[in-house]
Amino acid sequence: MTKNNTTIILAPLQGFTDVTFRNVFSDNFSGVDEAVAPFISTMGQKRLKPSRIKDVDPENNKKLFVVPQILGNVANDFIFLADHLYEMGHKKINWNLGCPHSKIAKKNRGSGLLMYPDKIDAFLDTILPKISNTLSIKLRLGRKSKDEIFNLLPILNKYPLDEIILHPRTGIQMYEGTSDHDAFEKALLCSQHALTYNGDITDLNTFHIVQKKFPCIIRFMIGRGLLSNPFLAEDIKGVLVNKNQIDRLKKFHDDLFDNYQTIFSGPAHLTGRMKGFWRYLGPSFKDSRKQLKKILKADSITKYQDMVEAFFKTETEFIKK
Ligand SMILES: Cc1cc2nc3c(=O)[nH]c(=O)nc-3n(C[C@H](O)[C@H](O)[C@H](O)COP(=O)(O)O)c2cc1C
């Protein structure tokens, strides 16, 4: 049973869940209540990357409530970006302490900072009195060890935070293995902040397992599960109608394609972006391997469109439930 107050948050997925995706998704599916946008890196105090700022422009984000996410570890640069976001209208922001990629972690950003709770303490102590936005944090259990979080949570307890979104893996684990539910439970006991669960909710069954294990959790963040099954949030909320699913997916695809076509200048850029989605969505159709391979191999826009047309004609069953 899904509780009435269950909130589903679209996870930030760099290269996937940008403003175009978020708007097209909201036009075609229901059930997702809000989103955290893919991270915006701090770039000193004089520079802002226009495309990243545009991604969270409230003017373009009217369909789904969005919280911008900042990646960075220099307090003054963070304050500069947070202020800019506040002036744009963002009352809430999120700090990325989870990014697992070694290039980022090596610079003590993302999950790389989790080994240094004192640095996080000093950072929050400096920024929180100076920013006007409220802050949530998205993190992993640690960089190298899943115990790192237990040194950090008492520090986070000292500060006012909107919530902590926890993906219970370590940074070096990347996406290997499974989400560690025992560690999540331990973190729940040690945190005075509201926790949001994030990790490996891929279908109704995995959602129910998490919900049953953590009855006090009402906010769930889902990333890859929504890419592979865009109906998942409708299913969780009990509003999924088992009708016209293939037609709905085709319309979703076509809307995404049309929108990206107006944004990306080069054909490889456009097909590359669309193929990214297919890698998640394609395997959710019954016996789709051969047809999917043809889409992923398409080396021109025309070929890509022909292969997608053929895919939707032959694939008649969406099996991901
Ligand atoms: C391609 C990709 C890009 C991601 N980009 C971000 C990001 O920009 N910020 C962030 O906090 N997490 C990012 N993540 C992590 C996801 O938000 C999420 O924590 C992770 O995928 C686990 O959730 P899931 O199992 O529901 O996908 C990314 C993950 C993937 C696979």
pLDDT tens across 52-78, in order?
999 999 999 999 999 999 999 999 999
**Is the CB of 12 inside a 6 Å radius of any atom of ligand 1?**
yes
Radius of gyration of the chain (CA): 20
* Closest C-alpha to ligand 1, atom 22: 199
Q: How far is the CA of 313 from the centre of ligand 1 (A)?
A: 32
User: How far apart are alpha carbons 127 and 124 in whole angstroms?
Assistant: 5
Q: Which residues pair with 318 in a beta bridge?
A: 285
CATH number for the domain formed by residue range(s) 7-237: 3.20.20.70
Note the pLDDT of residue 45: 77
Six token digits for residue 75: 């307090």
Long-range contacts of residues 49-56, Cβ cutoff 8 Å, at least 24 apart: 53/84, 53/88, 54/19, 55/18, 55/19, 56/19, 56/85, 56/88, 56/90
Q: How far is the CA of 130 from the centre of ligand 1 (A)?
A: 28
Place of tokens 């999120």: 94
Note the pLDDT of residue 153: 98
Six token digits for residue 315: 């694939």
Note the pLDDT of residue 62: 98
Note the pLDDT of residue 278: 98
The string of DSSP letters for 150-185 reads HHHHHHHTTS--S-EEEEEEESTTTT-S---HHHHH
Residues of the chain with pLDDT under 50: none
pTM metric for this prediction? 0.97
The greatest distance separating any two alpha carbons of the chain, rounded to the nearest whole angstrom, comes to: 58
**Is the CB of 167 inside a 6 Å radius of any atom of ligand 1?**
yes
